[in-house]
Amino acid sequence: MTKNKLKRIDLIFHEDCECRQVLEKTFSRSNDEIINDILESGLKGRGGAGFPTGLKWKFTAEQPADERFVICNADEGEPGTFKDREILFKVPSKVFSGMAVCAKVIGAKKGYIYLRGEYRFLLPELQKALGAFHRDIKDLIDFEIIIQMGSGAYICGEESALFESMEGKRGEPRNKPPYPTISGFKDKPTVINNVETLVYAFMICKHGPLSFKELGTSDSRGSKVFSVSGDTPIAGIYELELGMSLEHFVEEFGDGDTKAVQVGGAAGFCVPRKKLKETIIGFEGVPTGGSMKVFNSSRSMYNVLHNYLEFFEEESCGQCTPCRVGCQQLLKGIEAVKKGEKKAIYLDQLLKLSETMKLASKCGLGQSVANSFSSIVDNFREEMIY
């Protein structure tokens, strides 16, 4: 069911940072009560994959271990996503507070923020805010947050690659299972959440699960921060209720000449104008970590796809063959078709290759190349050829 209208929400950036009071109130409750609230709210991970946050916390808390960790994934690298930067810049104490609540629930004494190298300029202010936060909560909980910098690798946003990187290794994804809730950072049970997810968890502690649950749809509860860019007169960061149709989105953000919207970044889906009406933004339709790129009719979708494939070819960690070779061949393939060196029908073979990558790649990177590849080639085939 689609929501009729686009509704702006002001939860995340609202300047209501009485974090200490909310933490005091939350810490006075039992861990089970807190987990039940997060479960009840229906909050799903805001990084894009959409795993229920309450379950992640519950599984980690239940796993027997001498040490557990909470990690904030701030390796925001998906093309078109820039909302975590704004959250960390504007309301860092809410992020820290969300981590503290999680730490209490799962029994973690240490938390980490893995911040992408491109955001190093945030570090001085973030360290300052973190120092103040540590002083403020010292008597409430034995919990320390450490900020660790990335060094320019998209794949490190994948959770197990992120652990490898934090352990001082190449950021190559691990085989799953075991999942992080059982074996994460240093092989200990670990909750790893997106920046935005942690803030929502904290806001649910503050306002209660019902206020969150009544927003959105049954599959996509609550609101979400969107990063809007491309051919739009009002590019920027917007918190919106989930469950709206893309048509409503384009009415608000398009420039009147929208040809397609890329939802979820290079790893996401391209939705052409004729499908805007029937497409819901959310887990029942097209999921997104927040990236919304609008393209108008002056844009060549071949160039868009080419740019994405160059991106994937470079960012593939090279560990597994389907992704390493697949990304190269898709790129070479569309270039050959465009130049007329291969017949148009070769695109079907490339589509098959992308399907194979989806099935056979080790991690989300290789598995999701097919999303943008097939949605662009299927909907804009003629632009790939002529």
* Residue 308 lies near another protein (rule: CB under 8 A): yes
Q: Which residue, 3 or 116, has its beta carbon nearer to another protein? A: 116
* Residue 235 lies near another protein (rule: CB under 8 A): yes
* Residue 343 lies near another protein (rule: CB under 8 A): no
The answer to whether the beta carbons of residues 259 and 270 sit under 8 Å apart is: no
* Residue 231 lies near another protein (rule: CB under 8 A): yes
Q: Which stretch binds another protein (CB under 8 A): 50-58, 166-174, 192-200, 209-217?
A: 166-174
* Residue 169 lies near another protein (rule: CB under 8 A): yes
Nearest Cα residue to 72 out of 13, 41, 128, 113? 113
For the bound state, the minimum distance from the C-beta of residue 359 to another protein, rounded and expressed in Å, comes to 26
Structure tokens at 88: 């960390």
Q: Which stretch binds another protein (CB under 8 A): 11-19, 44-52, 71-79, 131-139?
A: 71-79
The answer to whether the beta carbons of residues 238 and 226 sit under 8 Å apart is: yes
**223-230 and 291-296 strand pairing:** parallel
* Residue 47 lies near another protein (rule: CB under 8 A): no
Q: Which residue, 120 or 138, has its beta carbon nearer to another protein? A: 120
Residue in 91, 100, 137, 304 binding another protein, rule: CB under 8 A? 304
* Residue 170 lies near another protein (rule: CB under 8 A): yes
Beta bridge partners of 365: none
Structure tokens at 296: 């108008």
Who contacts 85 (Cβ-Cβ below 8 Å, separation ≥6)?
76, 119, 122
Q: Which stretch binds another protein (CB under 8 A): 4-12, 70-78, 173-181, 197-205?
A: 70-78
CA distance 255 to 279: 19
* Residue 82 lies near another protein (rule: CB under 8 A): yes
User: Collapsing DSSP states into helix, strand and coil, what is residue 17?
Assistant: coil
Nearest Cα residue to 111 out of 142, 65, 144? 144
The burial class, CB within 10 Å (0-12 / 13-18 / 19+), for 364 is middle
Residue in 50, 80, 189, 322 binding another protein, rule: CB under 8 A? 80
* Residue 167 lies near another protein (rule: CB under 8 A): yes
For the bound state, the minimum distance from the C-beta of residue 299 to another protein, rounded and expressed in Å, comes to 7
| Chain mean position to CA 14 | 21
Q: Which stretch binds another protein (CB under 8 A): 209-217, 223-231, 270-278, 362-370?
A: 223-231
Q: Which residue, 134 or 169, has its beta carbon nearer to another protein? A: 169
Residue in 85, 188, 206, 342 binding another protein, rule: CB under 8 A? 85
* Residue 258 lies near another protein (rule: CB under 8 A): no
Structure tokens at 8: 């702006």
* Residue 307 lies near another protein (rule: CB under 8 A): yes
* Residue 153 lies near another protein (rule: CB under 8 A): yes
Q: Which residue, 237 or 244, has its beta carbon nearer to another protein? A: 237
* Residue 77 lies near another protein (rule: CB under 8 A): yes
Nearest Cα residue to 312 out of 325, 301, 299? 325
H-type alpha helices, the chain: 19-27, 31-41, 53-62, 83-90, 92-106, 123-137, 159-166, 195-207, 209-213, 246-253, 301-315, 321-339, 346-360, 364-379, 381-385
Helices 321-339/346-360 angle, 10° precision: 160
CA distance 99 to 114: 13
Q: Which stretch binds another protein (CB under 8 A): 10-18, 31-39, 142-150, 202-210?
A: 142-150
Residue in 34, 70, 87, 166 binding another protein, rule: CB under 8 A? 166
Binding stretches for another protein (CB under 8 A): 76-82, 85, 116-121, 148-154, 165-172, 186, 227-231, 235-237, 266, 293, 299, 303-304, 307-308, 310-311, 314-315, 317
